[in-house]
Structure 1
C-alpha cells in the first residue's frame, strides 16, 4: 500500500531576510498562501507536515536577539526594513489557525530564524541555538516536535537534531526539482517514489520527491497555454506511482509559492486528485512523523541493522 506525504516550509518573511533584495511577490504572499493551504487541506481532509519557523510563534521580540550566536547582521531586516512589518516577522494567529484546523496536521520545526545548517559559517553552537530556541517556543505552545525541515534543504548538523530528540527530516530530492526533474521523470521515465531510511544518527530521512513550484515563469505560461500545468501532471503521476506500489510520493511547497490565483488552482487540482484516488484505492496520506514511526528497525544476525516495513538503513 503506497502513501503520499505533503510537507510545507512555513516561514513568512524569514525565508528571505538574508536576501539583499527579497522577492516582493513571495514575501507578500506568505499569509494568504498559508490560509489558502489550510482551507484546501480542510476541504479535502488531507493532513500535512507544516514546518514552522519558531520566531513566527512569538508575539513580539527585542529585534536584537543578543543571546543568539547568529552572524553579524542576521537580524538586520527586523531592525530596519521590516521594523514596521510585524506581519512578516510574527504569525501566532497563523500558527493558531494551523493547530486548530479541522485536519490533524503535524507541527514540525523549520528552525528558529531560518539559519542554513549546511553553510560553513553555521557552527555547532548556532545549530544548537536554533534548535533549542525553536523547541522551547514550541513547548510553550504545548507542541511536541518530531520532524525537522532544513531551511532551503541545506542539510547539516544532523547530530544536533538527534541530540534534541528529532525523529525525522526531509532529505533532498534526488531528481525532481525544476526542469531537470521534468526531464528525468518524463523522458527518462524515472520513478517519482522515494524510500525513507534511518541514518547513522538514528534519524529517519524522508526524502522529497517533487517541489510543486519548480517549473515557473515564462516556461510555465507557455506550457499551460499549449498543454496543461506541468506540475499538476507530475504530481498526478507521482500519486499514481504510489497507488501501484508500496512506495512514498513526497511533495512539498512553501505557502508563499501561492502568489497568484493560478497557483491556488494548481494546488486544488493536485489535492482533489489525491483525495479522489485515496477514496478509490488503498492509497494513504501520511505526515513525515507517520513515516518515521513506521520505519521500524531490527538487528540482523550479523549485528548490523536491517529495516523492516519497507525501509532500510545506511550510513550516508
Structure 2
C-alpha cells in the first residue's frame, strides 16, 4: 500500500561547516547551543517515533586533534582557495577546543537513539564543486570517513554533500564505498548546486522568500521516481530556516509553507524531505524547538489520518528496494 513519507536529514558539522566563513569566537554561542539542542531533538524524535538521518562530518567521530590527523587521508583536496582546506588549520592548532571540533559523545548519543541513522557528510566537510579538488581527493576523503565510522561499529549508507555541492561525477565513488543514497537539491535555479561564488545575493534572497511564500512549488516526489542504479537521489524538499526575531511576525507563513507541503505529500503518497543543521537551533533554541514541535505535531496528525510514515534516507532506499 502506497503512503506518504516524512524524511528528515540533519547536517551535523559543528565548526567544520563554517570554519572558512566564520571566526570561532563569532560562532561560539551557536555551537554551544547546538550541543544543547541535539539531545532535545533526539528526545522529541524518540517521543514521536520520528526517524532522521544525521549526516556527520568524519572529524566529529574523533576524540581529539591527534586522532583526527591519524584518521585523515594521505591525499588531500587541492582547492585553489587554500582557505577552504581544513588540514592546515588542524595541523597548526594544537589546542583545539574539543567542544567545537569533535563530538564522539554526541555521535554515540545519536546512534543509541531509536530510528536515528548516522550517515556521512564526508570526512573533512569536502567541497565537491570548488576549483582544484579532484575525484581522487574525494575518493580518499570518503574512504577515510567510512574507515573512521567503521572503527566505531557504524556502517555509512547515506551521504549529504557539504554546502549541497552534489556532483554527478562523484556518484560512482559513493557506490564504491557502499553509499546507496544521497540528498540531492530541490529542483530549480534557486537551489542548483554551485561553488561558493555561484551562491549570490539573488539566489539567497529568492530562497529566503521561498521559505515563507510558495515561489517554487512543494518539491515533494514519488518514491518510485528515485528508482535506479545506486546511489539513489532523495532530494531535499525544504530547509527548516531558523527563527529570526526580525521576521517572527511571519512565522505562521513559514510554518504553513512546510505543513502545506507535508499535506501535499501525504495526500499524494509522496516524500517530503526536511533538513537543517543543529547550529541553526544554537540560538533562540526554545523558539526553534517550539517550531519543530509544531512540525512534528502536523506529522502526527498526518500519520493518524493519512498513514504518513517516517523514514531516514537509508530506510527510503530499503523501502524502494522492497517494492
Q: Report the TM-score when normalising by structure 1.
A: 0.82
1:193 aligns with 2:220: yes
Is 2:129–2:166's contact at 8 Å kept on the other side of the alignment?
yes
Are 1:223 and 2:230 matched, yes or no? no
Q: CA RMSD in A?
A: 2.8
Report how far residue 118 of structure 1 moved: 2.0
Q: Among 280, 294, 303, which residue is 2:319 paired with?
A: 294
> In 1, are the aligned partners of 2:13 and 2:56 still within 8 Å (CA)?
yes
Kindly state the Cα deviation for residue 184 of structure 1 after the two structures are TM-superposed: 8.9
Which residues of structure 1 form unaligned runs of 5+?
297-307, 310-316
Tell me: CA distance 1:77–1:294, structure 2 relative to 1, closer, same or farther (3 Å). same
1:98 — aligned with what? 110
Q: Distance in 1 between matches of 2:44 and 2:232?
A: 28
CA distance in 1, matches of 2:117, 2:133: 27
Look up the SS of the partner of 2:310 in the other structure.
Answer: strand
Give, in whole Å, the separation in 1 of the partners of 2:214 and 2:52: 30
Taking the aligned partners of 1:98 and 1:184, their CA distance within structure 2 comes to: 28
Deviations 1:22-53 (A, max 9, x none): 55143333312322211221222211111111
- Please name the residue that 1:160 is paired with: 173
Counterpart residue number, 1:54: 58
TM superposition outliers: structure 1 runs of 4+ over 6 Å: none
Is 1:174–2:182 an aligned residue pair?
no
Alpha-carbon spacing, 1:188–1:74, altered in 2? closer, same or farther (3 Å): closer
CA shift in 2, pair 1:256/1:183, >3 Å: closer
The answer (yes or no) to whether the contact 2:211–2:257 under 8 Å persists in 1 is no
Match of 1:295, SS state, is helix
2:309 is aligned, of 280, 284, 306, to 284
Distance 2:262 2:116 in 1: 20
Does the Cα contact within 8 Å between 1:47 and 1:287 map onto a contact in 2? yes
For residues 137 and 184 of structure 1, the distance between their equivalents in structure 2, rounded to whole angstroms, comes to 36
Length, aligned pairs only: 292
TM-superposed deviation, 1:217: 3.9
Deviation at 1:273, TM superposition (A): 1.9
Q: In the alignment, which residue of structure 2 is the partner of 1:123? A: 134
Contact 1:54 1:137 (8 Å CA) reproduced: yes
Q: What's 2:17 paired with? A: 15
State the partner residue of 2:199. none
1:267 to 281, 292, 317: 292
Do the aligned residues in 1 keep the contact of 2:219 with 2:272 (CA within 8 Å)?
yes
Write the mapping of 1:50-89 to structure 2, written as runs, cut at 5 A.
50-62=54-66, 65=72, 67-71=74-78, 74-79=86-91, 83-89=95-101
Query: How far apart, in 2, do the equivalents of 1:141 and 1:274 lie?
Result: 33
Q: Is the 8 A contact 1:118 1:155 kept in 2?
A: yes
Q: Is the 8 A contact 1:8 1:254 kept in 2?
A: yes
Secondary structure at 1:108 match in 2: strand
Matches of 2:44 and 2:94 in 1, distance apart? 30
- Could you say which structure has the higher helix fraction? 2
**1:195, 1:206 within 8 Å by CA — same for their partners in 2?**
no
Distance 1:86 1:236 in 2: 37
1:208 & 1:153 partners in 2: Cα distance?
10
- Gaps of at least 5 residues in structure 2 are 192-203
Aligned partners of 1:198 and 1:205 also within 8 Å: yes
The residue that corresponds to 1:209 in the other structure is 237
TM-score (norm 2): 0.80
Q: Note if 1:247 corresponds to 2:247.
A: no
**What residue number does 1:40 align with?**
44
